[in-house]
Structure 1
Amino acid sequence: MMKTLALPLFCTLLVTPAMAEDLATLEGLGEALFFDENLSKNRTQSCSTCHDPEYAFADPRGMASPGDDGVSLGDRNAPTASYAHFAPMFEKLDEGVYRGGQFHDGRAATLADQAGGPPLNPIEMGMSDAASVVARLEENPAYVVAFKDLFGDEIFADQDEAYGAMTKAIAAFEGTDLFSPFDSKYDRYLRGEAELTREEMLGETLFFSQQFTNCNLCHELLPRAGMEGETFTNYEYHNIGVPENGALRDMNGVGRGQVDLGLAQNALVEDTAGLAGKIKVPTLRNVAVTAPYMHNGVFQDLRTVVLFYNTYNTKSEARMLNPETGERFGAPEVPQNLSMEELTTGPALEDREIDALVAFMKTLTDARYEHLLDE
């Protein structure tokens, strides 16, 4: 069992040989690495900086994450690392249909591949190459001992092998129950340990019924509605017409009018025709406490997200307004390849139904984060 009470210590303390016992397992080593700011260029950023364990392993600081250099700002919202290890390896299901992988565009086939990305990203942790990261690992005697014990005495003889070992350890830590406890109110309800309110029960009914909503077309993985262990995503890719986040582009210097191609810019994809704008369906686990929303952080409130989906079904002009701006929801950043069949399934929703769906999604919050619902 992981010593989860010690997690905050890694944010402030250098891992020393005296802590070698905690590094004896792959998960324990991964835990130390996950919180180690020394693996970034200026030693200011770790995995946990953008995947904060106090905020459901998401980044509470804004629409996108600042980089280790203190200047750079990304163009996408950092997705939660909660339940990420359940995503299947990136794969092609059919012509133009893909599933799985990590990042919003699936460019990392596995969780270990994903762990290797941020340290070498110039606008994230900013290390120049794998060799530089491995050199930082070798600065720590406890790491050297742990790596050799777990991967063999010659692990540091090959820098790529050592870097790969690091990513495997981080992925192993992300695969522990700390990231996916399945102890939300909804999980407890399924086990007979909690009761849903009438509003939450209405939301559950709406969510799992294609007669009333389109939610479970993309946010249900298991074959039977309400089955324990549901991750609330089918891990497929869709373009749902998310508008450009102009405010973020003004901040990060990308410039308005630039198009995020999503899945079409994934190097693992051979034929990108018809894939522009498609983004991986995110888990709804902890969704109520991991604002802002959408891959570019364009919406701040969960209710706004439901209202946005509702624009595809409503005929009410008032329902086309974004309550966060008072203006119409923006046009799709990528107007091609919209998943219209999924988006237009079900009738328009009324306020009571919208509120019920939000109430239900709040029940998907892990127990340790339920206090954030009040904040």
Structure 2
Amino acid sequence: MNPRHSISGLLALTAVLFGLSGCETPADPEVDNATQNQKKVALGEALFHDTNLSLNRTMACATCHQTGSAMIDTRESAAVGASLGDDDFSRSDRNAPTAAYAAFTPSFHFDSGEGLYIGGQFHDGRAKDLKAQAKGPFLNPVEMMMPDESSVIERVKENSERVEQFKTIYGENIFDDDLKAYDALADSIAIFEMSDVFAPFDSKYDRFLSGEESLTPLEAEGLRLFEGKAMCSACHPATTADGSRPLFTDHTYDNLGVPVNHQLRAVNGLGEGVIDNGLGGREEINDPALNGAFKVATLRNIAVTGPYMHNGLFKDLKTVVHFYNTRDVEGAINPETGEAWEEGEVDATKNVNELGDLGLTDEEEDALVAFMKTLTDKQYEHLIPAD
């Protein structure tokens, strides 16, 4: 396992905006950029919530990323760890991550100085950026299930108002080429996901940083542990060198030694013989040293975005903290099963330097949870589970 390094310059939104406007120029070149952006946001929002763009017209982006629920799938069916697809039967093998703050993730790349892969969308970074990510779910056979890009665009063209929005923003001829129209569709969704709806930066911790509010003694102790004994900040930095609001991720990849989610495997039909190698399993990466590595998730809204881990294995945030603390401690118990922790799905390459035997007391685990609850956006604070 490579040691962690301080990754600089990753929080600038300009890195995310790079390359997202690869469609035709607006029909009216005199339109103010801000106005044009507002039009893209409005179109992207409509497309994000449009269930007609799935095969059976039952599923939208917002189905798995609900704007009133911290951008996750709150359907009861998702509790096993992965969302149901458009056919109300199929499932992937991974938990749908929150879409909140995703716009700040840099494009996928290898940092030769750090010796690490950084950024990208999805748990394994297979989509380079937010626009590439937006193209994926429509065509995924266990998500929205559309057969090809042209089929999606034909659904778009069923809505005359939507057609006019496309033409106004991307040009009268945008529908002459289905691939260009599909690129425009993804572009507008990505621009919507860059709006303040997804990243308000108004949690209690943000208010604490700006001097508007104080942390309770338990929350303050949790912050101290977060940056010290628990080593959380090694991958989820709570401060930034340039004073910008922290995203609580360094955008790198790590193998946490997470066990198989047997309940999910039982319902998605993949069975027990499958191994999800994450980043290392991508054909173009193909690096056994990275097997089992998944993107370090943001901790913003973590208290209200369960189930947790890339496969949705754990239901409770306290369980996650206890896993980090005791994964490698002989006799330690998974509180959700009452049994000892299982071996990781990809155990050989798991991180043993920053988790597994942290020596935290139960009270210290509670303090960490209390602190992480302060990372919840104000509009979702009512969703925080009661103690």
Q: Does 1:359 align with 2:361?
A: no
| Equivalent residue, structure 2, for 1:126 | 145
- Kindly tell me: are residues 167 and 352 of structure 1, through their superposed partners in 2, closer, same or farther at Cα, counting changes over 3 Å? same
Distance, in Å, in 1 between the alignment partners of 2:62 and 2:147 is 20
| Equivalent residue, structure 1, for 2:54 | 40
Q: Pairwise mapping of residues 78-157 of structure 1 onto structure 2 (< 5 A)?
A: 78-94=96-112, 97-157=116-176
Q: Pairwise mapping of residues 159-308 of structure 1 onto structure 2 (< 5 A)?
A: 159-209=178-228, 212-220=229-237, 222-224=239-241, 227-267=243-283, 269-308=284-323
The alignment partner of 1:355 has SS state of helix
Question: How many correspondences in the alignment?
Answer: 347
Gaps in structure 1 of 5+ consecutive residues: 1-20
Structure 2 contact 304–385 (Cα < 8 Å) conserved: no
| Equivalent residue, structure 1, for 2:72 | 58
Amino acid at match of 1:31: E
- Kindly tell me: are residues 144 and 117 of structure 1, through their superposed partners in 2, closer, same or farther at Cα, counting changes over 3 Å? same
Distance, in Å, in 1 between the alignment partners of 2:249 and 2:381 is 21
Structure 1 contact 96–273 (Cα < 8 Å) conserved: no
Distance, in Å, in 1 between the alignment partners of 2:253 and 2:277 is 12
What fraction of aligned residue pairs are identical, expressed as a percent? 51
Per-residue deviation at 1:261? 1.1
Deviations 1:40-67, CA, capped at 9 Å, x for gaps: 0011000000001121001123211000
Per-residue deviation at 1:327? 0.1
The alignment partner of 1:183 has SS state of coil
Distance, in Å, in 1 between the alignment partners of 2:73 and 2:280 is 25
Amino acid at match of 2:350: L
The one of 62, 84, 95 aligned to 1:77: 95
Structure 1 contact 112–171 (Cα < 8 Å) conserved: yes
RMSD between superposed Cα atoms in Å: 2.0
Deviations 1:227-260, CA, capped at 9 Å, x for gaps: 5510000010000100000011011111013100
| Equivalent residue, structure 2, for 1:31 | 45
The alignment partner of 2:110 has SS state of strand
| Equivalent residue, structure 1, for 2:20 | none
Amino acid at match of 1:281: V
Structure 2 contact 279–285 (Cα < 8 Å) conserved: no
Amino acid at match of 1:240: L
Per-residue deviation at 1:273? 3.2
Distance, in Å, in 2 between the alignment partners of 1:43 and 1:159 is 20
Distance, in Å, in 1 between the alignment partners of 2:82 and 2:360 is 30
Structure 1 contact 262–277 (Cα < 8 Å) conserved: yes
Q: Pairwise mapping of residues 320-339 of structure 1 onto structure 2 (< 5 A)?
A: 320-339=332-351
- Kindly tell me: are residues 312 and 324 of structure 1, through their superposed partners in 2, closer, same or farther at Cα, counting changes over 3 Å? closer
| Equivalent residue, structure 1, for 2:324 | 309
Distance, in Å, in 1 between the alignment partners of 2:250 and 2:221 is 23
Gaps in structure 2 of 5+ consecutive residues: 1-34
Structure 2 contact 37–191 (Cα < 8 Å) conserved: no
Amino acid at match of 1:229: R
- Kindly tell me: are residues 58 and 41 of structure 1, through their superposed partners in 2, closer, same or farther at Cα, counting changes over 3 Å? same
